[in-house]
């Protein structure tokens, strides 16, 4: 992969999420960066009422601001016994500055005493691709069904992964590790649907490829 390969900005500051998506894109010759590589990236207000709405906000606003192709996702877990909560509030379930540990602790508290058959849940992921003008060019949605354990298992992944059990494997995403997660997760399912569109658009649309002369990209590649 060279500097002439098309660049796709993954619209997240979460390094683990960035790595997950970058590994899925690497075989297609697409370079990736995350918002950590752009000092002036926006802090997009996620005030949409669905995963799809929030993913679109993050992709379109960031793409227009950076003058780059941006792939953004919004994801979270919906718990049956909590009527779909935390849902779109998964990342801030325990408060605006909550850590993964805070969110997991609160979720366990709310599910305390429930038997396995009442701990059903599903991970959702909506991904949106926006071109450098901020126009939405592709979208996809993925779901992974499972249930929540009563305690943490495994050290892989992030978010609710140490609690989320893929029932067929009798293991949490925290135990299964990145290779299995790349095949089974909600994010992997959404990415499989959108990948052909990403590859086609970035490799065959020269009139709207990454603007390498943009101030955003210059700052991203400048020495710190």
On whether the CB atoms of residues 90 and 77 are closer than 8 A, the answer is yes
Query: What is the rounded CA–CA span in Å between residue 137 and residue 20?
Result: 21
Q: Which two tokens stand for residue 86?
A: 């935390």
183 CB-near residues (< 8 Å, 6+ apart): none
How many CA atoms lie less than 13 Å away from 184 in the CB half-sphere?
21
How many of the other CB atoms lie within 10 Å of CB of 51? 24
Choosing from 74, 80, 100, 161, the catalytic residue is 74
Q: Is 74 a catalytic residue?
A: yes
Residue 96: φ, ψ to 5°: -60, -30
* d(C-alpha 12, C-alpha 183), whole Å: 21
Active-site residue numbers? 74
């Amino acid at each position: 992969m060279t500097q002439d390969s098309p660049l796709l900005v993954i619209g997240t500051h979460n390094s683990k999420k960035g790595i997950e998506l970058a590994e899925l894109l690497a075989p297609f010759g697409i370079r990736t960066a995350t918002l950590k590589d752009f000092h002036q990236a926006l802090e997009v207000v996620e005030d949409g009422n669905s995963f799809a709405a929030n993913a679109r906000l993050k992709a379109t606003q960031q793409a227009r601001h950076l003058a780059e192709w941006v792939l953004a996702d919004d994801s979270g877990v919906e718990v049956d016994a909590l009527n779909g909560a935390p849902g779109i509030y998964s990342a801030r379930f325990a408060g605006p500055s909550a850590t993964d540990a805070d969110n997991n602790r609160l979720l366990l508290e709310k599910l305390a005493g429930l038997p396995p058959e009442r701990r059903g849940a599903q991970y959702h992921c909506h991904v949106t691709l926006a071109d450098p003008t901020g126009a939405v060019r592709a979208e996809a949605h993925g779901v992974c069904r499972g249930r929540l354990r009563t305690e943490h298992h495994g050290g892989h992944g992030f978010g609710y992964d140490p609690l989320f059990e893929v029932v067929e494997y009798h293991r949490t995403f925290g135990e299964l590790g990145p290779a299995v997660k790349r095949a089974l997760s909600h994010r992997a399912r959404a990415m499989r649907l959108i990948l052909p569109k990403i590859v086609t658009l970035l490799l065959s649309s020269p009139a709207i490829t990454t603007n390498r002369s943009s101030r955003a990209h210059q700052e991203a590649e400048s020495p710190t």
